[in-house]
């Protein structure tokens, strides 16, 4: 604790010109727990960049940690490239606009050209700009779907996807060498613009993005003639303009916006947890249905890379999860392309390995390869980059992960809630014309391939003690794998950290075709399974469950039983 207190005193001394930081530091003076939480660790830069609570300290998102990370990125880029440039974007979160400009100032001071969007913009627009402007990296200031007290810093590879391990580790080594008070180069934003080292990204780039998205519809005439009714909420984030733009340009006429959640607002007043995975974000929209009976409700998260939906089915709104929508989109894209005679000869798609395996069955029906990648959309982007090198990018159908992220097309190499919103609406219009809802369409898929219930459990461990507890749980579970779950024998144990898959009958072990990752998976009879991993962006352990049954209730019962067994295994509630 002595070292922590010394660090606290250093911050008091070095931040005297920053009233906001000083006020917070003085407010916690004498409180060991509060000081410890702010200084027990540094925000760690990884493949997901930085993410943390806004505030004072090394374990917080603030001017000093953001500029230190940017100086480290600049040192990395200048050590690797003779001339580098970076595309920058930001969302509606508190201080996102300020942090984005500070990033540009640091990059410019290091001789790196900074291209910055002049207004808040969805994450996929930055991925697009990195590729379109031939940048060596990109930065997005966002904390995705986290509560308003959080912000974050995503960093991109030259190919347009978030950095994978090798690059992220190299950047982190550079960051660790930077003194956050005395080691950062910086010029004013205006000086950077005057010297040509900071340049605003023009509307021509935005229009190019729209053009790519508008090329995605498979049944454009159907859209122009549909009476599909849609309620959309951007959850006070970046999606308001781009999502409504593409829907209107495509020809959808009955779109209503949730007024309380329309304008950008980083405090998220009506949805403290602006996550399209949860029911609460649809509550304001549901009130609108008393006067506007929408067929479909859409919600995009603050940086508009993810989208969630609720579907009107038999006079009630049913929330579909990320796996449901992934299955539906896979089926629709392949089905519609086949009907139009435009399905590639060798179609291919990819998904995170924690996502539903029902997708594999649906894809196989249409002769589509389905490849699993590790969790994190960067691996989907990396997969697409590999296809491009093989000249197979036109074969790509879709990439998705169960956490509500979808990419349709190769214009971006990150999740794209703009294109996904458009294609979900087209899909809903397609089935409406046939007298079906998306719930009906999903039921048809279950009848054909079997019933799947996918559940996600989140167990939160806040603060310094939480980090220790998470490590303890993962280590103990790794050292003591279960022999059965929910009364079913564990057939195989996959340890992604060790890179091994073990058959529990023969004890034979084989190598997993994935990079090392702190993940454990247990295969059970009948296609059932459980996966556990710590989150890369939040203080959580996540448990993914799949239950397969002869009907919906049976699959639900099996999934619940596996979930309860995993709680006992991990000793969590």
Which residues have a catalytic role annotated? 144
Torsion angles phi and psi, residue 103, rounded to 5: -60, -45
Measuring CA to CA, how many Å separate 292 from each of 44, 172, 562?
A: 46, 50, 40
What is the rounded CA–CA span in Å between residue 6 and residue 12? Answer: 10
CB burial readout 391-401, b (16+ within 10 A) else e: eeeebbbbbbb
H/E stretch holding 503 reads strand 500-503
Token representation of residue 40:
């027990």
Comparing CA positions, the residue from 492, 530, 490 lying closest to residue 508 is 492
Comparing CA positions, the residue from 379, 394, 301, 272 lying closest to residue 344 is 394
Comparing CA positions, the residue from 436, 200, 227, 457 lying closest to residue 335 is 436
Q: What's the full length of the chain, in residues? A: 573
Residue corresponding to tokens 């300020």: 98
Kindly tell me the burial class for residue 327, based on how many C-beta atoms sit within 10 Å of its own C-beta (0-12, 13-18, 19 or more). Answer: buried
Comparing CA positions, the residue from 48, 223, 205, 49 lying closest to residue 132 is 205
Comparing CA positions, the residue from 38, 42, 146, 41 lying closest to residue 92 is 146
DSSP 44: P
- Give 428-432's long-range contacts (Cβ < 8 A, gap of 24+): 428/228, 428/295, 428/296, 428/311, 429/219, 429/222, 429/223, 429/226, 429/228, 429/252, 430/219, 430/222, 430/332, 430/336, 432/226, 432/227, 432/228, 432/295
Strand order in the sheet with 254-257: 254-257, 229-233, 296-300, 307-313, 316-320
Residue corresponding to tokens 């806004």: 54
What is the rounded CA–CA span in Å between residue 247 and residue 419? Answer: 9
Kindly tell me the burial class for residue 422, based on how many C-beta atoms sit within 10 Å of its own C-beta (0-12, 13-18, 19 or more). Answer: buried
Name the CA dihedral angle for 90, 94, 100, 106, rounded to a multiple of 10 degrees.
-160
What is the rounded CA–CA span in Å between residue 413 and residue 448? Answer: 32
Token representation of residue 378:
């960067």
H/E stretch holding 297 reads strand 296-300
Token representation of residue 27:
């407010």
């Amino acid at each position: 604790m002595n070292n922590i207190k010394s660090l606290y005193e250093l911050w008091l001394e070095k931040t005297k010109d920053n009233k906001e930081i000083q006020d917070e530091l003085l407010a916690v003076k004498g409180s060991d727990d509060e000081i410890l939480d702010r200084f027990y660790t540094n925000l760690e830069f990884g493949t997901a960049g930085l993410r943390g609570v806004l505030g004072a300290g090394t374990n917080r998102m603030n001017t000093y940690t953001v500029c230190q990370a940017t100086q480290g990125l600049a040192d990395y880029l200048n050590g690797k490239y003779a001339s580098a440039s970076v595309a920058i974007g930001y969302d509606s979160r508190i201080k996102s606009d300020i942090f984005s400009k500070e990033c540009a100032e640091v990059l410019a001071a290091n001789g790196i050209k900074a291209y910055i969007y002049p207004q808040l913009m969805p994450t996929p627009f930055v991925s697009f700009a990195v590729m379109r402007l031939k940048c060596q990296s990109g930065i997005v200031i966002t904390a995705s779907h986290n509560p308003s007290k959080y912000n974050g810093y995503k960093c991109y590879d030259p190919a347009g996807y978030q950095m994978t391990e090798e690059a992220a580790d190299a950047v982190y080594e550079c960051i660790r060498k930077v003194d956050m008070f005395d080691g950062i180069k910086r010029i004013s934003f205006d000086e950077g613009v005057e010297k040509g080292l900071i340049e605003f990204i023009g509307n021509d780039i935005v229009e190019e993005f729209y053009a790519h998205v508008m090329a995605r519809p498979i049944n454009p005439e159907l859209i122009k003639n549909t009476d599909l009714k849609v309620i959309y909420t951007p959850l006070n984030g970046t999606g308001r303009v781009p999502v409504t733009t593409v829907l209107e340009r495509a020809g959808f006429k009955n779109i209503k916006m949730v007024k309380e959640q329309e304008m950008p607002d980083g405090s998220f007043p009506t949805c403290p947890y602006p996550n399209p995975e949860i029911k609460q974000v649809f509550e304001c929209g549901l009130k609108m249905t008393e006067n506007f009976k929408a067929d479909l409700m859409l919600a995009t998260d603050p940086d508009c890379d993810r989208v969630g939906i609720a579907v009107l089915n038999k006079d009630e709104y049913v929330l579909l999860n990320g796996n449901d929508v992934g299955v539906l989109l896979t089926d629709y894209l392949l089905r519609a392309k086949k009907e139009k005679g435009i399905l590639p000869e060798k179609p291919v798609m990819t998904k995170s390995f924690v996502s539903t395996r029902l997708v594999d069955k649906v894809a196989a029906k249409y002769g589509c390869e389905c490849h699993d990648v590790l969790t994190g959309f960067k691996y989907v982007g990396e997969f697409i980059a590999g296809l491009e090198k093989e000249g197979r990018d036109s074969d790509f159908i879709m990439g998705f992960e169960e956490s509500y992220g979808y990419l349709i097309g190769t214009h971006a190499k990150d999740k794209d809630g703009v294109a996904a919103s458009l294609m979900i609406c087209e899909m809903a219009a397609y089935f409406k014309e046939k007298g079906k809802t998306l719930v009906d369409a999903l039921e048809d898929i279950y009848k054909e391939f079997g019933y799947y219930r996918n559940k996600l459990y989140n167990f939160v461990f806040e603060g310094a003690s939480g980090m220790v507890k998470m490590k303890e749980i993962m280590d103990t579970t790794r050292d003591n794998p279960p022999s059965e779950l929910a009364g079913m024998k564990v057939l195989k144990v996959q340890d992604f950290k060790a890179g091994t898959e073990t058959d529990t009958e023969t004890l034979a072990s084989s190598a997993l075709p994935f990079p090392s990752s702190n993940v454990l998976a247990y295969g059970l009879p009948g296609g059932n399974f459980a996966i556990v991993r710590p989150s890369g962006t939040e203080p959580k352990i996540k448990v993914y469950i799949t239950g397969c049954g002869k009907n919906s209730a049976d699959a639900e019962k099996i999934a619940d039983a596996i979930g309860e067994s995993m709680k006992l295994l991990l000793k969590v509630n």
